Structure formats: structure tokens, C-alpha cells
Amino acid sequence: MAAQSKVEQMKAQAQQPGLGIQECNSNIAKWEAEIQSFRAEIADREQKILEEKNKRSKIEEAVAATTQESIRDAAKEGISHFSAADVIKEEIKSLEDAIKIQSVEVGLIKDHYADFKSKCLP
């Protein structure tokens, strides 16, 4: 019986390390599964980052295009105002010249009237 007892004891010792090994294997498997899950999350986040970068680029392009368009429109408006101002300045100068001419003509008419009046009315 002593031999049997010794065999039982040896079996128990052999099973204990096996339980320890099983626990290690279980932990390893659990952690490997967690790592796979983390990798999937990382890949998901990397995809989301890429999508956000693309979205940001499109927004930046739209803002830049809008800004450029606004600048162009403002420049065109400024140029048209400047051109209109030049035209108006020329018209004003022309009107001022016409006023001067009319003033001279009115002065001449007054002189002729005064001369005529002095000759006709003694």
C-alpha cells in the first residue's frame, strides 16, 4: 500500500503543476484576446482619425475657396467703385468747365445788355 500511496502522491503532484500550467495558459489566452480586442479598437480609431483628417481637409478647402471668392468679389467691387469714381471725376470736371463757359457767356450777355441799354435808353 505504501507504493500505492506513493503513486497517488506523485499523481497529485503531477496534477498540481498541470493546474498551474492551465491557469497560465488561461491567462495567456485571455490576454491575447484582450490584445486582439485592443488592436481592433486601435484600427477603428486610426480609421476614425483618417476620416476626420479628410473631413478637416475638405472644410479647410471650402473655407479657403470661400475666402478667395470673397476676396475676389471685394476686389472686383473695389475696382468697379474706383472705375466709377474716375468716370464721375471726369463728368464733374466737364460740368465745372461747362459752368465756367456759361459764366463767361452770361457775363458777355450782361455786358451786351448793359451796352444795348445804354445806347437805347439815353
Per DSSP, 109 falls in state H
pTM: 0.45
Q: What is the predicted pLDDT for the residue at 40?
A: 95
Q: Is residue 103 a part of any domain in this protein? A: no
Q: How buried is residue 121: exposed, middle or buried, by Cβ count under 10 Å (0-12/13-18/19+)?
A: exposed
Residue 35 resides in a domain: yes
Classify residue 6: in a domain, yes or no: yes
3-state secondary structure 49-100: HHHHHHHHHHHHHHHHHHHHHHHHHHHHHHHHHHHHHHHHHHHHHHHHHHHH
The per-residue pLDDT for range 2-14, each reduced to its tens digit, is 767 776 776 666 6
57 in any annotated domain: yes
Tell me if 116 is assigned to some domain.
no
Identify whether 14 is part of a domain: yes
How far from each other are the two terminal CA atoms of the chain, in whole angstroms? 177
Encode pLDDT of 31-86 as tens digits. 999 999 999 999 999 999 999 999 999 999 988 888 888 888 888 887 877 777 77
Q: Is residue 36 part of a domain?
A: yes
Residues spanned by the domain of 77: 1-88
For 6, the grid coordinates are: 506513493
Q: How many domains does the chain have?
A: 1
